[in-house]
Structure formats: C-alpha cells, structure tokens
Amino acid sequence: MPTYSYRCTECSNAFDIVQAFTDDTLTVCPTCGGPLRKLFNTVGVTFNGSGFYRTDSRPAASSSPAPAPAATTSTSSSSDS
C-alpha cells in the first residue's frame, strides 16, 4: 500500500498516510479543516516527471481515436445470383 504525503495549505500541517489506490484522496486538513495538497514524494509509488499536479495538464497525445475493430461481421460469402 502506498504512502501518501499531504500538506495543508493553511496551517502547513504535513503528514503521511497509508492509503490504498481505491481510497479517496484526502482534501481536508484534519487539524484546521483547510485544503490539503497532495505531495507526490511518496514511498512505493514512482511518478515519472518532475513537479506536482502533472495529472491536470496532460498533453494531447491522443490524436486519432482508434475505433473498435468490427468483430467478424457475418460475411455472407458466395452470394451468386
């Protein structure tokens, strides 16, 4: 289970918490109720790239959305007239 680091933007209360991937991200400081900022210097999880909050600005890499290939449409072959 990864350890997430949070830091409050109001009171600068920093703490670590072990959360599963399915757990919700903490957003409220347990001390003062201010907004929390999630830090990514975590143990066990490695994010490539530098800086925080890279997930918000994702590059438009998906140029052409590939449609799902048509699965074996019943090709009625040998349709002689």
Number of residues that bind Zn ion (CB under 5 A): 8
Measured in degrees and rounded to the nearest 5, phi and psi for residue 47 equal -105, 130
User: Distance between CA 28 and CA 3 in Å, rounded?
Assistant: 17
| Cα gap 51→16, rounded to integer Å | 18
DSSP reduced 3-state for 16: strand
Nearer to Zn ion, 1 or 30 (CB): 30
* Out of 13, 19, 37, 38, the residue judged to bind Zn ion by CB under 5 A: 13
Would you count residue 11 as binding Zn ion (CB under 5 A)?
Answer: yes
Q: Decide if residue 10 touches Zn ion (CB under 5 A).
A: yes
Contacting positions for Zn ion (CB under 5 A): 8, 10-11, 13, 29, 31-32, 34
